Amino acid sequence: MYTVLKNASYLDVRSGTYHTDRSIIIKGDKIEKIADASAADGMSDANIIDCTGLHLLPGLIDAHVHTTAITPDFAELEISSPFYVAIKSTEILSGMLQRGFTTVRDAGGADYGLAAATLENPAMGPEILFCGKALSQTGGHGDVRTKGRREFEGCFCCAGLGVVVDGVTEVRRAARDEIRKGATQIKIMASGGVSSPTDRIDSTQFSIEEIRAIVAEAEAANIYCMAHAYTARAIKRLLQNGVRTIEHGNLLDEECCDLFVETGAYLVPTLITYQALANEGVASGLPASMEEKIYMVLEAGNVALKMAYDKGVKMLYGSDLLGTMQRHQLQEFSIRSKVVSNIDLIRQATVNAAECFDRVGSIGEILEGGLANIIAYQNDPLEDINVLVNPEESLQLIINRGVTVKHLVTADQNA
Ligand code: ZN
Ligand code: ZN
């Protein structure tokens, strides 16, 4: 059975222009053909969706989410029932899909099981690119123990976000184990963080030898590393050693920007999460002792975004929201729009991510042979990026891997 999107105008995210009066012919989970408007005429037995008046975009890609982070308290998460966490994660995943995200990259927590579930049922949520557990050193960003605790609970069945490993042998074994379980990228906790109880924002984490070993294991499996890092010092030692994406990067400097450009690495700012944590973090379950750290990175993040954009650093869309704050996922668009042009913002959330994830031709663009991941709005997000931010009203159509998840019939189409 075919689905045909007729009278379709879709955004070519590379050129920044719309192709108009097209028929997009979908078979199974892929776009089989893009033809002129009349191609739909002879296909009376197909499921025809009239797209008159709509602006079609490729499904959005969020490069930094935590699909299992049902609370910002990671110590609590680790001792939660994995069944409970999985069930609650389905709500998080469904929310992401309803916001227009058809691909998300999980930065710690999701595994092959959760990823398989949304591939088997695309109406349930976006495709998940997963790293399994994030690798952390003792006392690092993935170590959820408070000072008084000695035991680390983390094990396969636990729903925590990270695993604690030290030394080249242990990090290699952990990276290989995530690769064994199908990871699409390896996550390194390479500096202090907000939601970890004992580390300092300005610390670097893991030795150069450990970082090199993890990157080498990822490269051996033809995947890559993403790394959590805030300061210029932490970022430089990652870029110099082959890490492909830097998460957050709030305290980067000009020299870092040059290194990004030189190495072709990507920056994944996640500004919305600091704003959300500042506004409602503690109310959402963040331990109050961690609140102070938010302000160390909140303001700097906006400065970093502008510096990186002006320097031509390649960027991806990231939200990094936790618990009930995940509902703000689209507001990263509003924050970045003060610095980044609308078309570049859309590229950050589509084709840039496809390139970074080695998925060009499959996601991030509306293309023949690509996955049928398509969303549509009545108003043009190129003119006003906030069209993307209120999806309940503005998002008319969501197709994920060929499955129509949402379709509102507009007045235009009834006429
Ligand atoms: Zn992080
Ligand atoms: Zn994160």
Separation of alpha carbons 247 and 317, rounded Å: 10
Q: Do 85 and 16 share a structural domain?
A: no
Is the CB of residue 49 less than 8 Å from the CB of residue 3? yes
Q: Do 316 and 401 share a structural domain?
A: no
Which ligand gives the minimal distance to the CA of 321?
Answer: 2
Report the DSSP pairing between strands 186-189 and 225-231. Answer: parallel
Tell me, in angstroms, the distance from the centre of ligand 1 to residue 141's CA: 8
The residue segments making up the domain with residue 36 are 2-59+365-414
Tell me, in angstroms, the distance from the centre of ligand 1 to residue 189's CA: 7
Q: Which string of DSSP letters, residue by residue, matches 76-128?
A: HHHTS-HHHHHHHHHHHHHHHHHTTEEEEEESSS--HHHHHHHHH-TTT--EE
The residues whose Cβ lies within 5 A of ligand 1, an ion, are: 228
Tell me, in angstroms, the distance from the centre of ligand 1 to residue 229's CA: 7
Tell me, in angstroms, the distance from the centre of ligand 1 to residue 389's CA: 23
Q: Do 275 and 384 share a structural domain?
A: no
Tell me, in angstroms, the distance from the centre of ligand 2 to residue 247's CA: 8
- Whether 339 maps to a domain, the answer reads no
Q: Do 293 and 235 share a structural domain?
A: yes
Tell me, in angstroms, the distance from the centre of ligand 1 to residue 193's CA: 6
pLDDT at residue 154, as a whole number: 61
pLDDT at residue 213, as a whole number: 98
Separation of alpha carbons 145 and 134, rounded Å: 15
Q: Do 392 and 290 share a structural domain?
A: no
Q: Do 116 and 221 share a structural domain?
A: yes
Which ligand gives the minimal distance to the CA of 322?
Answer: 2
Tell me, in angstroms, the distance from the centre of ligand 2 to residue 218's CA: 19
> Exposed, middle or buried by CB within 10 Å (0-12, 13-18, 19+), for 43?
middle
What Å distances lie between residue 88 and 69, 77, 81, 85, CA to CA? Answer: 9, 12, 11, 5
Tell me, in angstroms, the distance from the centre of ligand 2 to residue 46's CA: 42
Mean pLDDT of successive 10-residue stretches along the chain, which has 415 residues: 96 98 97 93 90 98 97 88 95 98 97 97 98 96 88 70 95 98 98 90 96 98 98 98 98 98 98 95 89 89 97 98 97 97 98 98 98 98 96 96 92 53
- Whether 228 maps to a domain, the answer reads yes
Tell me, in angstroms, the distance from the centre of ligand 1 to residue 247's CA: 6
pLDDT at residue 415, as a whole number: 44
Residue where one domain finishes, among candidates 283, 312, 329: 329
pLDDT at residue 163, as a whole number: 93
Which ligand gives the minimal distance to the CA of 193?
Answer: 1
Q: Do 266 and 133 share a structural domain?
A: yes
The residues whose Cβ lies within 5 A of ligand 2, an ion, are: 107, 320
- Report how many domains make up the chain: 2
Look up the pTM and report it.
Answer: 0.97
